[in-house]
Each structure stands twice: as structure tokens, then as C-alpha cells.
Amino acid sequence: MNDWMFSEAERAAVYRAIHTRRDIRSTFLPQPIPDAILWRLLGAAAAAPSVGFMQPTEIIVIRDTEVRRQIHAHFESVNRAAAEVYTDADRRAYDALKLAAIIETPLNLCFTCDTTTQRGRGLGRQTMPETAVFSTVCAVQNVWLAARAENIGVGWVSILEPETVKTRLDIPAHLTLVAYLCVGYVSDFPAQPELETKGWEHARDLTEMVYFDRYGVRQP
């Protein structure tokens, strides 16, 4: 076996991380994440692929209680407005969901993307400029999977207004806010997505998501 090859056990571990990763909101514990582990997670972000190797991602590590309180207050007001879109049973279902754990987690991570950087010299971005932001999303996913392997939960909060978060965190205007994550140890990793358990949405069938050679063509 070459040293670049994964053993069967390593392969199984990677797929286990992928399939048991969850968006966590409810099972967080307050204990802090040691710095050495935090830096492993951040290293996973830095190791992500990026278009033209532009590495446009910067991350704000947020531990300060007051900063988290401010972001949480902002989330609460945006979430109240978001709930207004739903009526009747949908509204009751929405209100019963827990959609962020900004205060309960000891660590929040805010991911920004610098779409203006000259790094990578524009390679791969001429026809698809959005690939800069895609690159930051790859960094987020790396952290999410690495966190799973560290037995650490992550919850992505997008019920936020990017400009408000940028102001609160002193993020320069030219940066794009991509992701806000709540991160912490957990008492449990649920087997199913919480939105599925609570009846909000169900998982798609894999075969329903895949075509062959042309859109719409199912497996022969």
C-alpha cells in the first residue's frame, strides 16, 4: 500500500464523520474547547480547496460573552421577523424549532470571504466569480467535519443580517459574511437531522438527486 492511500479503517472513519455530522442546536455543553483543538479546527479551514488557491477565507474566533450576547439579540429579532412568513401549523412548527445556540456554545466562528483579493490572480473566477464564496463554504465544511471527528458539535446560523453582524464584529465593508457557526462539545449527536425529527423536512432519496449524462436521465 502506498503512503498516500487510505487504509480501510481510515476510509471508514472519513465516511463515518461525513454521515454522522449533524447541525447541532440543542445538545451543547458549556465546557470550553482547548486551544490545541481549536487550532486543529482552524487548520482544517485553511486546508480547504479554494479557486485559484486564492484562500479568501478569514475567521473571527468569538468567545467574548458580550459579543455573543449582542449577536444573539440580533438573531432573536431577525428570527421573529422570519417567523412571520409562516402561518397556522407551519408557524407553530417554526416557533417550536431551536435554530441557534449562540449563547449556549463557548465558541462562535464567523467566516468571511475576501472576494477582492488578488491572490490566485483570478484563476478560475473569470466566468464564475461566485467561486470565491464557494471556496469559503468549503472551509466551513472542512471545519464542520473536523469538529465531528473531535466529537464537537457545530450549528450554522444564517438567520442573521450580514451587514449588522459585520458592524457588530468590525468586519471591513469589502468582506463578504459567509457563515456564523456555534461550536461546542455536546451530550449527543442525534442520528437524524433535527429538522427531520421535528417533521419540518425529510431527507431526499439519493436516486432522486442523480442523473446520468443529461439532466433528467435516470440510471438506465
Ligand X SMILES: Cc1cc2nc3c(=O)[nH]c(=O)nc-3n(C[C@H](O)[C@H](O)[C@H](O)COP(=O)(O)O)c2cc1C
Q: Which residues bind ligand X (CB under 6 A)?
A: 22-23, 25, 99-100, 155-159, 193, 195
**Within 13 A of 57's CA, how many CA atoms are on the CB side?**
32
Q: Would you say 120 or 135 has its CB closer to ligand X?
A: 135
Q: Would you say 22 or 120 has its CB closer to ligand X?
A: 22
Distance in Å, CB of 97 to ligand X, minimum: 7
Distance in Å, CB of 108 to ligand X, minimum: 13
Distance in Å, CB of 10 to ligand X, minimum: 23
Distance of CA 186 to the CA centre of its chain: 16
Q: Are 142 and 45 in contact (CB under 8 A)?
A: yes
Strand partners, 153: 184
Indicate the helix (H) or strand (E) that contains 90: helix 88-96
> In angstroms, rounded to a whole number, what is the distance separating the alpha carbons of residues 110 and 133?
14
Q: Would you say 38 or 186 has its CB closer to ligand X?
A: 186
Interaxial angle between packed helices 88-96 and 65-83, expressed in degrees from 0 to 180 and rounded to the nearest 10: 170
Distance in Å, CB of 22 to ligand X, minimum: 4
Q: Would you say 58 or 194 has its CB closer to ligand X?
A: 194
Distance in Å, CB of 132 to ligand X, minimum: 16
Q: Would you say 120 or 155 has its CB closer to ligand X?
A: 155
Instruction: Compute φ and ψ for 9, nearest 5 degrees.
Output: -65, -40
Q: Would you say 196 or 217 has its CB closer to ligand X?
A: 196
Lookup result for grid cell 459579543: 67
Distance in Å, CB of 121 to ligand X, minimum: 28
Indicate the helix (H) or strand (E) that contains 152: strand 152-156
> In angstroms, rounded to a whole number, what is the distance separating the alpha carbons of residues 1 and 177?
43
Which residue of this chain has its Cβ atom nearest to ligand X in the complex?
193
